[in-house]
Amino acid sequence: MSSLASVDPQIAELVKAEERRQADTVKLIPSENYVSKAVLEATGTVLTNKYSEGYANKRYYEGQQVIDQIEVLAIERAKSLFGVNHANVQPYSGSPANLAIYLAFMQPGDTFMGMNLPSGGHLTHGSPVSITGKWFKPVSYNVRKETGRVDMDQVRELALEHRPKVIFCGGTAIPRTIDFPAFAEIAREVGAILAADIAHIAGLVAGGAHPSPVGHADVISTTTHKTLRGPRGAMLMANDDEKATALNKAVFPGLQGGPHNHTTAAIAVALHEAAQPEFKAYAHQVVANAKALAEELNSRGFDLVSGGTDNHLILIDLTSKGVAGKPAAKALDRAGLETNYNTVPFDPRKPFDPSGIRIGTPSVTSRGMGEAEMRQIGAWMDEVVGALAKGDAEDVIARVHREVSELTAQFPAPGL
């Protein structure tokens, strides 16, 4: 970063500080990961200099000879990896990708269904603070209180009652396998389009560690980071020609202008990496690590939503521990264990001060950690949360942070 340090030493120093922080921290936020050096290099190329409104071979600006090849390569790799007929790699991120689904298949005021945000859904699945909850008519489904799992009976009853145009499945805090066939059957019964939001699990789907929505969902949206280990971008996929055309028109010109070509190239790199045999092993290890961490936390009396996990993600209700999610997340962060405070199903507390924390294993698995390290992480979490509940946590936090630093030194992070 010699040029950056010369031109803007303040930003250069902050970037270095963030790199040191990421190297020294056990990243447990399930939506975060480490990209490879190759992905990082692609995001920093001269491709950022080029505007490319439109699609390959149908652009509005000249000079697209190279850009078209890059975008086509990313598309073909996405189609091959996920087994779909059509892919759009231009959405800027997950929320714009989901907005394209609304624009493609709905009109303002139309009814749709999505998972309730406190139950594990996403803001763009109809939260009242989101444009999707303001411009459309959301009908929310939940998880069962006694199991923490999606109530498919409720989904069907609501669908039959409200006849939605679109049904979203997937979300941001779902620790269990998504039953795509069951959702598809309900969608067919009421004549709705099934949209599978696999932003969190795309890497697991690509690696064969989670069932695929392909063949069940009409349209699929995903981010390209999280478990897929790509840049901050998104994709939309479909098998049906007509639906794919509608999605393309919704992305451009419906919502966006020129795509971010440097991101497109980095997506192509990440998709190439995800097609390698070692990525499949990575995806399965993510799940194995999450299960090991969940078992350790269970054994230490933590209340896990749904009792455990099938994927990369664990949602913890800290009520029984006598602490709230926000102070717990901040204490854990000071100890070098990076989590996020999160609502839990039927949470009586407010979203900015909820009862739970959300953790996951994509990043630690990218560093090469395994089940033994997960058990140690669970023990550290128990120590910090226990000390916090007693009101005297700082000595414990300082000691755990030293021990965390010793562990992270043994497992260098990719790309740093």
Residue 73 annotated as binding site: no
Q: Give span(s): CATH 3.40.640.10, the chain.
A: 41-274
Please report the pLDDT score of residue 134 as a whole number. Answer: 97
Give me the DSSP letters along 71-115. Answer: HHHHHHHHHHHHT-SEEE---SSHHHHHHHHHHHH--TT-EEEEE
- 386 CB-near residues (< 8 Å, 6+ apart): 321
Q: Is 242 annotated as a binding residue?
A: yes
Sign of the CA dihedral 248, 250, 254, 258? Answer: negative
**Does 123 appear as a known binding residue?**
yes
Question: What number of other Cβ atoms are within 10 A of residue 252's Cβ?
Answer: 21
Parts of the chain belonging to CATH 3.90.1150.10? 287-410
- Of all residues in the chain, what percent are helix, strand and coil, respectively (each to 5)? 50, 15, 35
Q: What are phi and psi of 320, to 5 degrees?
A: -70, -15
When pLDDT is cut at 50, 70 and 90, the band that residue 359 belongs to is very high
DSSP strand pairing (166-170 vs 111-115):
parallel
Tell me if 230 is assigned to a ligand binding site: no
Q: What is the β-pairing status of strands 58-59 and 54-55? A: antiparallel
Tens digits of residue pLDDT in 94-131: 999 999 999 999 999 999 999 999 999 999 999 999 99
Catalytic sites, residue numbers: 51, 53, 197, 223, 226, 232
CATH fold of the domain at 41-274: Aspartate Aminotransferase; domain 2 (3.40.640)
- Indicate the CATH number for domain 287-410: 3.90.1150.10
120: buried, middle or exposed (CB in 10 Å: 19+, 13-18, 0-12)?
A: buried
Taking residues 229-247, report their average pLDDT: 98
**Does the structure show a pLDDT above 90 at 408?**
yes
Phi/psi-derived region of residue 408, left when phi > 0, alpha when psi is between -120 and 50, beta in every other case: alpha
Mean pLDDT of 253-275: 98
Contact status, residue 103 vs residue 132, Cβ threshold 8 Å: no
pLDDT, average across residues 324-347? 98
First to last CA, the chain: 13
pLDDT digits 0-9 by tens, 53-99: 999 999 999 999 999 999 999 999 999 999 999 999 999 999 999 99
Q: Is pLDDT above 90 for 309? A: yes
Is 233 annotated to bind a ligand? Reply is no
Residues 112, 136 contacting (CB under 8 angstroms): yes
Q: Record the tokens describing residue 5, joined without a space.
A: 């340090």
Q: What is the pLDDT of residue 403?
A: 98
